[in-house]
Amino acid sequence: MIEVLNSADDLARQKWDVLVPTMGALHAGHQSLIKIAQNYGQKIAVSIFVNPLQFENKNDLHNYPKNIEADLQLAYKAGATAVFLPSEIEIYPGKIEKVDAGLLGDLYEGAARAGHFSGVLTVVKRLFELVKPKFAVFGEKDYQQLFLIKQMVKKFQLPIDIISAPTIRDQNNLALSSRNTRLSEQEKQVANVIFQALSTENLQLASAVLKKQPSFKLDYLNLIDEDSFAEAVPSTKNKRLIVAGWVNQVRLIDNIAIGGR
C-alpha cells in the first residue's frame, strides 16, 4: 500500500521530485496528472488537503466529497510514491500570510468566488515550501488557477517548474471534475453543451451554441490571450476560449486552446 505522510518531518525524510497537489476525491483527471508526473522524476508526492481558505461558501467546503481509502488506491495505482495528508494546523500553524492574487484574482472565476484565488495561491505556496519538489503538475482545466500559479512562481522566484497537464474528458467530452458526481444523467446531457460550444473555437459561434441550451446558465464566455489573460485581440498569437456556468446547482468551467495547441 502507498506510504501516507502527515507532517513536515515525515516529508523531510525524503527528497521529492514531483508534487501533485489535490483536494482529494481523485478521478481519472488526477490519475493522468500522476502519470505525467512520472516523466519528471521517481519520487512523486500527491497532497490531499481540502483547503478552507479557497472556499468562500462554507457549505461547499462542508459538502466537498471525501473518500480517502479510494484516493489512496487511485494514487497508488497511478504510480505515486506517497500521499501527503496534512492536518489544517500542519498547513497553517500560525498567522496566515495570504498571497495576493492581484487584479486577475478578481476576474472570471475570482469574480464569482471572492478570495478564492488568494486561498489557492496561499496553500500552493505553503505546499511547495513543505514538500520542496522540483516540479509540480496542475491541470489545464483550471486554466486561470494554472496561470496565477505560474505568475506566483515567477513573482517569488520559487525554485520549481510548473507542468501543465491537458484536460481529461469523459466519453461525451465533459471535462472531468469532482463536481461531476453531483450531476444527474439529465444534467450531464445539458452540460455537454459546454464542449459543443468550445469546439467551435469561435466566441460568437460558441455564444450562439450556449444560448440554444436554456438549462445552462452562462456565467462568462471569453476569448483570452493565454500569455497575459487579457481579452484577445485579432493579433493575439495564443488564444483560448474560457467558459463557466451553472447546470442547476453545479458550477462548471472549461476552456479550449484555439488552433488545437
In this complex, which beta carbon is closest to ligand PAF, that of residue 29 or of residue 239?
A: 29
Assess 232 for contact with ligand PAF (CB under 6 A): no
- Which single residue brings its beta carbon nearest to ligand PAF? 21
Beta-carbon-side half-sphere exposure of residue 110 (alpha carbons within 13 Å):
19
Amino acid at site 111: A
Answer yes or no: are the C-beta atoms of 23 and 86 closer than 8 Å: no
Assess 21 for contact with ligand PAF (CB under 6 A): yes
Q: State yes or no: is 27 an active-site residue.
A: no
Assess 51 for contact with ligand PAF (CB under 6 A): yes
Assess 255 for contact with ligand PAF (CB under 6 A): no
Sequence-ordered list of residues with C-beta below 8 angstroms from that of 198, at least 6 positions apart, any chain: 206, 241, 243, 254, 255, 256
Stretch that binds ligand PAF, among 18-26, 63-71, 153-161, 234-242 (CB under 6 A): 18-26
In this complex, which beta carbon is closest to ligand PAF, that of residue 47 or of residue 213?
A: 47
Q: Dihedral through CA 102, CA 107, CA 111, CA 116, nearest 10?
A: -50
Assess 46 for contact with ligand PAF (CB under 6 A): no
Quick one: which of 123, 174, 194, 210 contacts ligand PAF (CB under 6 A)?
123
Which residues in 53-82 contact ligand PAF (CB under 6 A)? 54
Give the C-alpha separation, 68 to 85, whole Å: 9
Quick one: which of 124, 190, 191, 193 contacts ligand PAF (CB under 6 A)?
124
Give the C-alpha separation, 223 to 232, whole Å: 6
CA distances from 107 to 18, 145, 219 (A): 30, 12, 12
Give the C-alpha separation, 135 to 87, whole Å: 23
- The distance of closest approach from Cβ of residue 27 to ligand PAF in the complex, given in angstroms and rounded to an integer, is 11
In this complex, which beta carbon is closest to ligand PAF, that of residue 33 or of residue 241?
A: 33
Q: Which sequence positions are flagged as catalytic? A: 30
* Contact residues for ligand PAF, defined by CB under 6 A: 21-23, 51, 54, 120, 123-124, 142, 145
